[in-house]
Amino acid sequence: MKTIFKVEHLNKVYRLGSFPRAITIRALHEVSVTVESDEPVIISIVGESGSGKTTLARVVLQLERPTSGNVIIHDTAVAGRRAMARGTEFLRMVQPIFQNSFEAFSRYRTIDSYLYETATRVNKLNRAGAISAVEDALSAVGLTYRDVRGKYSNQFSGGELQRVSIARALIPHPRLIVADEPVSMIDASRRMLIINLFRDLKERYKTSFLYITHDLATAYYISDYIAVMNKGVIVEFGKARTVLSNPQHAYTRLLLDSIPRLDRKWNPATEALVAESRYGEGRA
Amino acid sequence: MICLHNIVATYTTRRGQVNAVDGVSVDIPDNMILGIAGESGCGKSTLIKVIYGDLGFPLALTAGSISYGFQNDGGQEVTLANIQKEWFKRISYIPQSSMSSLNPVVRIRDQFLDFPSVSRNKAEVLERARAFVQKLGLPPQALDAYPHQLSGGMRQRVMVAIATFFQPHIIFADEPTTALDVVVQKAILLLLMNLQKEMKSTIIFVSHDMGVHYQIADRMLIMYAAKAVEYADTEESFRRPLHPYTLMLTNALPVIGDDRERQGLPGQPPSLWEPMRGCRFAPRCPLATDLCRTTEPPLLQHAAGHYAACHHADRVAELKESLANAHDLIGVSR
């Protein structure tokens, strides 16, 4: 069994302000998760804003140094003690997809230049090899090189551009793709095209995904494992179906209970007071 | 009752003119919550802008009229011509982003008292405002704060408080909880529902989240490519839809506990710039026939209060059945 994703006692403390009145914020507090498997897996991190899920993603992507603790991906330490250096070797192993692809790509550069650059710099390919790698990656997401060649980001729709950014992340054949809220900017009716693409790529490219989201329903749909975060702490972790069909922690139950479902209506007369008190709890 | 008659709303751009709302006629009864749903670009936000009376370049009303079913102070019927005079007197608006709607350098209480009717007796109104925000689950000190000192949920509560303080007839809300977390969203939506019951006003709200619609709306208006395609009681729209688009929209997203494969909606909505013939949904519709591609279906009443614009409304139940029996399960480890 391979250690696909392992986080040990990870802490991240931010300091705001200067010496006399500095305040510290614990964005991550003793976060530990281990996923071992021979097959690629999709791991979801769910939680509300401020729960620390994006900080965790940034530490995994080496964009942020942890205050203490380790991160291991595919049996290799990427953050913490004896971590590998930042650079192309790391980028061949872990690749990001961000929430807003219109911000991720510059408006002043053509989209194909990003793909080409990833292929030449990260994969160290020559010109012809780079173009064929780009073509392969684009065909995996249902696009062709002609669709993107010479185009700028404003010539794409949100869903298309997010597919291109997935293609870019696929070029180095990474072991793990970290997707931070990849579908929250996409219209609900077309969200499933991207979500189904993740599932499909997991099989075809043997890539694992770390899916960071606040949407429990899509997390349930694609994840093998799920971790629920609240205020920098993982409150519940396990197989997605077990966690969401039989939640043990009160916070997981609160999240599940707050989803506007299509089968059972809320009762405003009785539930409002409960919601108010929990609203206080969640923010305290 | 708010009566919309053949509303055509047009944006003027450098490329030319485009109809973002193209001939919508519906009657909205009083004392209920109306939800408007559809994909981005279907005209749902433009429609509530028009009903709110927020017309101005580049948006213009090309055809149609609205009667609001109440009189202004002078005893005249309120129509689109004088609706702007009723803003924050009898009608109000809850915006999506509270941060860009509240003035960052003015305390909440001063923004609260900024109604046309509060020129005298400020102290008394402030007392009432304090009692009111407390009822809405805000600490009374929140009125003395600046917007940045409050959390997103508290700011949205302030917006709800400002919009409901003077007991308006009609409240408009454009994606009022989209920027909030689910736990806060539920609290705000329940608050809105309770306020509506108490004040007996009409709430017209736009959301792309079908779950939110199901929870709070009494009636649903589904829009597609600038047209109204279905208008019915919420329970009817979800349980017995008569337009394939409504059905596919509710089936687009996964549900916890349901392992059936979801495909989302195939294809994209048509560009409003192109000339269109027949039913606008036909290219994406599994029930489409030649009739759909040539003749545009009108919005007809199929059952009491249940309107749909589809030539094959009688076959939607069949389609629902076949979707419900699909057995493709998603392959994830259990």
Q: Is the ipTM of this complex over 0.95?
A: no
Could you tell me if A214 lies within 8 Å of chain B, comparing CB atoms? yes
Distance (Å, whole) CA B305 – CA B178: 29
pTM, rounded to two decimals: 0.89
* DSSP helix/strand/coil, B65: strand
pLDDT of B119 > 70? The answer is no
CATH of the domain at A55: 3.40.50.300
Q: What is the pLDDT of residues B6-33, one digit of tens each?
A: 999 999 999 899 999 999 999 999 999 9
User: CB-based contact (8 Å) between A259 and chain B?
Assistant: yes
Q: pLDDT digit string (tens) for B160-218? A: 999 999 889 999 999 888 878 888 899 889 999 999 999 999 999 999 889 999 999 99
- State the smallest CA–CA distance between residue B121 and chain A in angstroms: 32
The pLDDT value recorded for residue A282 is: 43
Length of chain A counted residue by residue: 284
Q: How many CA atoms lie within 13 A of A234 on its CB side?
A: 20
Partner B, chain A 123-162, Cβ-Cβ below 8 Å: 157
How far is B26 from B23, CA to CA, in rounded Å? Answer: 10
At B218-227, the pLDDT tens digits run 999 999 999 9
C-alpha dihedral (B180, B186, B187, B191), degrees to nearest 10: 110
Name the more confident of A87 and A227: A227
**Chain A interface includes B334 (CB < 8 A):** yes
Q: Which domains does chain B have, with CATH numbers?
A: 2-217 (3.40.50.300), 241-324 (no CATH)
Q: Average pLDDT over chain B, rounded to whole?
A: 90
Cβ A262–B210 below 8 Å, yes or no? yes
Task: Classify A83 as helix, strand or coil.
Answer: coil
pLDDT at B330 over 70: no
At residue B146, does pLDDT exceed 60?
yes
Interface of A with B in 221-250 (CB under 8 A): 221-224, 239-241, 244-245
State the burial class of residue A168 (Cβ atoms within 10 Å of its Cβ: 0-12, 13-18, 19+): buried
B208 reaches A (C-beta below 8 A): yes
| Residue B308: closest CA among B239, B245, B226, B225 | B245
Do residues B34 and B202 lie in contact, with contact meaning Cβ atoms separated by under 8 Å? yes
Which residue range forms the structural domain that includes residue A127? 2-283
A194-218 residue pLDDT tens: 999 999 999 999 999 999 999 999 9
CA distance A76 to A214: 28
Strands B33-37 and B202-206 turn out to be parallel
B13 neighbors B181 (Cβ within 8 angstroms): no
Measure the CA–CA gap between B181 and A275, rounded to whole angstroms: 13
* Residue B190 main-chain phi, psi, to 5 deg: -65, -40
| Cis geometry, peptide bond prior to residue B58 (ω within 30 degrees of 0) | yes
| CB-based contact A283 B39, cutoff 8 Å | no
One-letter identity of residue B125: V
Return the residue of B nearest to A281 by Cα.
B183
> Is A17 part of the contact surface with chain B (CB cutoff 8 Å)?
no
User: Which of A218, A257, A275 has its CB closest to that of B254?
Assistant: A218
How confident is the model over B42-57, as pLDDT tens digits?
A: 999 999 999 999 998 8
List CB contacts of B75: < 8 A, sequence separation 6 or more: none
Q: Decide: residue B313, CB within 10 A, 0-12 exposed, 13-18 middle, 19+ buried.
A: buried
pLDDT at B327: 60
How many domains does chain A divide into?
1
At A74, is the pLDDT very low, low, confident or very high (cuts 50, 70, 90)?
Answer: very high
Is pLDDT above 60 for A281? no
- B contacts of A258 (beta carbons < 8 Å): 182-183, 185-186
- 3-state SS of A131-160 is HHHHHHHHHHCCCCHHHHCCCCHHHCCHHH
- A18 burial (CB, 10 Å; 0-12 / 13-18 / 19+) is exposed
Tell me the percentage of chain A whose pLDDT exceeds 70: 95
Contact B265 A261 (CB under 8 A): no
**Segment B248-285, tens digit of pLDDT:** 998 888 888 888 888 888 888 898 988 889 999 999 99
Contacts of A157 in chain B (CB under 8 A): 268
Q: Which of B206, B207, B215, B260 to mutate to test the interface with A (most CBs of A within 10 A)?
A: B215
Interface touch B334/A220, C-beta < 8 Å: no
